[in-house]
């Protein structure tokens, strides 16, 4: 059955279909042609194409056997969801031996090491090595990262590890140094707009020029966000224009982000800390900062106040990018917002 989610339906299957990232495509294509793939560390913001690049790489390396030679794990599932996740994934049934999370005797990190060891040690099919992709690798605890380093050394001849992170400094230096580091940046507005037009034409969606521009502006270089927005808009409107996208944007503003901004402005730091903790359970600090930017812009503050808030949020975002503690930086942001409002 054809996927109904357009982000999956239009996920690239070849390097030519990947939008942007020309230098990365060139590097990966050279590695495929030389059949000399090292371990990889892919870093950049969420939804910048890291997973898609890995899937295309596997297709190019293994052909029809790509699914058999590629194992994918999301580290955040292991270490954020814990034992409830372990019993929900049938791949781990034999290892944990139960479907009751309360009866799992081993620790999550113990199960993680056992799973990675087993998959890394499997023989490849019709190839010299297999690939093991660990997404959201920043969710791994320091102990888990050191354990992963030892596993990578043990199976370096028969398995290639690909680690994906949003912020490179969250990986321990020994892991960073063991792979080729590739940076995935956000797409330009022109690239996003081109992708939106292509999909709209393929799906017979009527969209105006200002509608395309509005999606590109709202997405801020996030192609997945742009595609999802286009699909949502197409379900409720015969013709999509800028007003359509504006209405969707307002409806999908996260309530927790709104509450965080209001608490910071009012100096209610107890509520602000609570909202920060809640948001960090499912979002990175950089994602929260981006949502705060959108919410702040929509408030219609006077130009002087808007500029001061934007400059302060930009400083916070830089600190987050450089790997500073997310909770501390967001709490500092809340404190400064209240100070700005009190002037």
Instruction: Provide the CATH number for the domain formed by 189-251 in this structure.
Output: 1.10.8.60
Give me the pLDDT at residue 1, please. Answer: 43
The predicted structure's pLDDT at residue 254 = 65
The whole model's pTM is what?
A: 0.74
**How do the domains of the chain map onto residue ranges?**
6-183, 189-251, 255-342
pLDDT in the model for residue 203: 94
The CATH number of domain 6-183, selected from 2.60.40.10, 3.40.50.800, 3.40.50.300, 3.30.110.30: 3.40.50.300
**Burial of residue 296, with CB atoms counted within 10 A of its CB: 0-12 exposed, 13-18 middle, 19 or more buried:** buried
Contact 148, 142 (CB under 8 A): no
Q: What's the pLDDT at 51?
A: 93
CATH top-level class of 255-342: mainly alpha
pLDDT of residue 82: 60
Q: Nearest to residue 293, comparing CAs of 212, 187, 301, 37? A: 301
Distance (Å, whole) CA 19 – CA 13 = 11
Residue 87: closest CA among 105, 68, 101 = 101
**Tokens in use for 298?**
């929509």
- pLDDT on residue 2: 47
Joined together, the tokens standing for residue 170 give: 């969250």
Residue 75 and residue 187: Cα distance in Å, rounded?
Answer: 25
pLDDT one digit per residue (tens) for the chain, 343 residues: 444 789 989 999 999 899 888 899 999 999 998 888 999 999 988 889 999 999 999 999 999 999 999 999 888 877 666 666 666 677 766 666 666 666 666 777 777 888 888 888 888 999 999 999 999 898 888 888 999 999 999 998 899 999 999 888 889 999 999 999 999 998 999 999 999 999 999 999 999 999 999 999 888 888 988 998 999 899 888 899 999 888 777 655 567 788 888 888 888 888 888 888 888 776 778 778 888 887 887 777 888 888 888 888 888 888 876 656 788 888 999 988 888 887 6
Closest listed residue to residue 112, CA positions, set 136, 92, 129, 132: 92
Residue 107: both structure tokens together: 């620790």
């Amino acid at each position: 059955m054809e996927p109904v989610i357009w982000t999956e339906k239009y996920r690239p299957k070849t390097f030519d279909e990947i939008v942007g990232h020309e230098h990365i495509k060139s590097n990966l294509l050279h590695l495929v042609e030389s059949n000399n793939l090292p371990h990889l560390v892919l870093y950049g913001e969420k939804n910048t194409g890291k997973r898609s690049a890995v899937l295309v790489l596997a297709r190019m390396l293994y052909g029809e056997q790509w699914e058999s030679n590629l194992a994918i794990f999301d580290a955040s599932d292991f270490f954020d969801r814990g034992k409830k996740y372990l019993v929900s994934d049938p791949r781990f049934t034999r290892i944990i031996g139960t479907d009751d999370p309360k009866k799992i005797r081993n620790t999550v990190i113990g199960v993680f090491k056992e799973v990675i060891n087993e998959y890394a040690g499997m023989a490849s099919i019709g190839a010299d090595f297999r690939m093991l992709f660990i997404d959201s690798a920043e969710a791994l605890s320091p102990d888990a990262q050191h354990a992963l380093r030892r596993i990578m050394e043990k199976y370096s001849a028969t398995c290639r590890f690909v680690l994906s992170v949003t912020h490179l400094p969250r990986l321990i230096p020994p892991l960073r140094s063991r792979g080729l580091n590739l940076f995935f940046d956000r797409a330009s507005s022109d690239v996003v707009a081109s992708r939106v037009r292509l999909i709209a034409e393929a799906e017979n969606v009527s969209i105006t020029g200002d509608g395309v521009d509005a999606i590109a502006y709202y997405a801020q270089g996030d192609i997945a966000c742009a595609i999802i927005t286009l699909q949502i808009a197409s379900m409720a409107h015969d013709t999509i224009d800028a007003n359509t996208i504006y209405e969707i944007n307002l409806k999908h503003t996260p309530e927790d982000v709104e509450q965080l901004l209001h608490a910071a402005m009012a100096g209610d730091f107890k509520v602000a800390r609570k909202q920060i903790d809640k948001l960090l359970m499912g979002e990175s600090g950089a994602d929260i900062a981006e949502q705060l930017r959108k919410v702040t812009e929509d408030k219609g503050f006077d130009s002087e106040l808007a500029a001061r808030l934007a400059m302060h949020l930009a400083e916070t975002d830089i600190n987050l990018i450089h790997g500073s503690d997310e909770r501390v930086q967001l709490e500092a942001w809340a404190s400064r917002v209240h100070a700005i409002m009190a002037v």
